[in-house]
């Protein structure tokens, strides 16, 4: 049993620039009812011919994956694990629209072939010729924690020494509208991609932080959540508070009963809401530990306590009326 899991590199595609990390200090606030991605410069990794055959989510996922692998210096990971809430929804929507318009004849096979949730992991594997462990989780707002838990298990048991972990969701104009009805606890429906490389070996100059634990609790009691938060020893809570009372009520039930020594951070007011946005929260948390500072924009709750150098962060992620994800990350301790 390997004793630690390390984050080596991360890449993201969101409403922020994917080419640099200036968003961590000064994010751009995107206006509008939905939050949409800035398309990355994919040319370095994806040829125009390939690009034409791919939907938005596949391009972004492949870009984020290849870009984080490049940063990590690991060419071919032992495992590829993906989380996605809606999967390849653009292609699914197009296939459904074609059924409306053309009936059950003359439908396009490519749309169907690239509609399943696992298309993302397999497009990456095909590109890398990676025969290793390959899995996809699709469970609403805890798709990321589900994939992370699997990655963590693969690394801790030594079945894989390196994992490419990603979490990806896209919206279309139609889905952006639909989500106001179908997901009323979201604030602004959005989309994003995040990919990172995790290893079970410390790599000097590369390891950024540790992933100490990943837990998913289905409909836990407030008492259980408070106990788990206290047991984690973390005083910095990076939460999925989004400004929508339907969503935030559950957080407040827990946070209001914690002592005053906690610092509560948030990120969804910048990145919007999507099933994959907890993966961006993870990115934010890793950057806080790497840089040793908490950017002002994440700290909307007003200071309860100053932390000179943030060392441990608990990522708290509530999936409306259902699960809580709890991920502890911390600074390197060797």
Partner 1 sequence: MNSTERVYITGAGIISALGNGIEVTSRAISQGRSGIESVKYLHTSHRELPVGEVKESNEELSARLQVKGEASQIRNVLLGVSALREAVASASLSASDLKNTAFINGTTVGGMDLTEQYFKAVYDSGGKDENSISVRYNDCGISTEMIASEVGEFAMITTSSTACSSGANAIILGAEMIKAGIIDRVIAGGTESLSNFHFNGFKTLMILDNDKCRPFDRDRKGINLGEGAAYIVLESERACKARGVKPLGILSGYGNRCDAFHQTATSDDGEGPYQSMTTALQMASLRPEEIDYISAHGTGTPNNDMTELAAMKRIWGDKLPYFSSTKAMTGHTTSASGAIETVMSLIILNEGIIPPALGVINPIEQGAMPVVEPLKAEGIKNIVNNSFGFGGNDSTLIISKSSI
- Residues forming the site for partner 1 (CB under 8 A): 1, 80, 85-87, 92, 95-97, 99-100, 103-104, 107-109, 112-119, 121-123, 125-126, 128-140, 142-143, 146, 149-150, 153-154, 156-158, 173-183, 216-219, 322-323
Q: Which structure tokens are listed for 321?
A: 């009326």
Q: Who's near 300: CB < 8 A, 6+ residues apart?
A: 266, 269
Q: Which is nearer to partner 1, 153 or 226 (CB)?
A: 153
Quote the least distance from Cβ 265 to partner 1, whole Å: 25
Q: What is the CA radius of gyration of the chain?
A: 19
Q: Which is nearer to partner 1, 86 or 236 (CB)?
A: 86
Note the residue count of the chain: 334
Q: Which is nearer to partner 1, 171 or 298 (CB)?
A: 171
- Strands 236-239 and 263-266 turn out to be parallel
CB of 3 to partner 1, least distance (A): 10
C-alpha 267/C-alpha 281 separation (Å) is 6
Cβ 279 to partner 1, closest distance in Å?
Answer: 15
Shortest Å distance, C-beta 34 to partner 1: 11
| Residues 6+ away with beta carbon under 8 Å from 53 | 110
Q: Residue 10 or residue 185: which is nearer to partner 1 going by CB?
A: 185
Q: How far is the CB of 58 from partner 1 (least distance, A)?
A: 10
**From residue 28, how far is each of 14, 37, 178, 249, 257 by CA, in Å?**
11, 12, 25, 27, 33
Shortest distance, position 122 Cβ to partner 1, whole Å: 3
Handedness of CA 192, 197, 200, 205 (dihedral sign): negative
Q: CB-wise, 38 or 127, nearer to partner 1?
A: 127
Nearer of residues 115 and 199 to partner 1, judged by Cβ: 115
Q: Are 331 and 234 in contact (CB under 8 A)?
A: no
């Amino acid at each position: 049993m390997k004793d630690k899991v390390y984050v080596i590199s991360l890449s993201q595609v969101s409403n922020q620039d994917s080419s640099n990390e200036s968003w961590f200090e000064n994010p751009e606030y995107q206006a509008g009812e939905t939050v949409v991605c800035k398309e990355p410069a994919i040319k370095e990794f994806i040829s125009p011919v390939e690009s034409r055959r791919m939907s938005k989510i596949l391009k972004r996922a492949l870009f984020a994956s290849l870009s984080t692998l490049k940063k990590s210096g690991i060419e071919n990971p032992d495992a590829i694990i993906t989380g996605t809430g809606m999967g390849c929804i653009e292609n699914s929507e197009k296939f459904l629209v074609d059924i409306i318009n053309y009936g059950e004849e003359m439908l396009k096979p490519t749309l169907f072939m690239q509609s399943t949730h696992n298309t993302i992991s397999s497009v990456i594997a095909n590109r890398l010729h990676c025969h290793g462990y390959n899995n996809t989780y699709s469970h609403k707002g805890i798709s990321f924690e589900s994939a992370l838990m699997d990655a963590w298990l693969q690394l801790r048991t030594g079945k894989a020494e390196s994992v490419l972990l990603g979490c990806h969701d896209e919206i279309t104009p139609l889905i952006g509208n639909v989500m106001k009805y179908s997901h009323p606890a979201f604030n602004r429906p959005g989309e994003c991609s995040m990919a990172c490389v995790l290893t079970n070996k410390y790599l000097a100059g590369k390891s950024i932080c540790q992933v100490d634990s990943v837990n998913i609790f289905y409909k836990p009691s407030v008492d259980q959540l408070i106990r788990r938060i206290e047991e984690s020893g973390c005083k910095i809570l990076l939460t999925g508070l989004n400004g929508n009372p339907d969503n935030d009520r559950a957080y407040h039930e827990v946070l209001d009963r914690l002592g005053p020594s906690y610092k509560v951070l948030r990120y969804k007011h910048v990145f919007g809401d999507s099933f994959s946005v907890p993966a961006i929260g993870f990115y934010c948390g890793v950057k806080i530990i790497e840089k040793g500072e908490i950017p002002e924009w994440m700290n909307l709750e007003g200071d309860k306590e100053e932390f000179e150098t943030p060392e441990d962060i608990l990522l708290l992620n509530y999936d409306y009326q259902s699960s809580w994800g709890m991920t502890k990350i911390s600074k390197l301790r060797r």
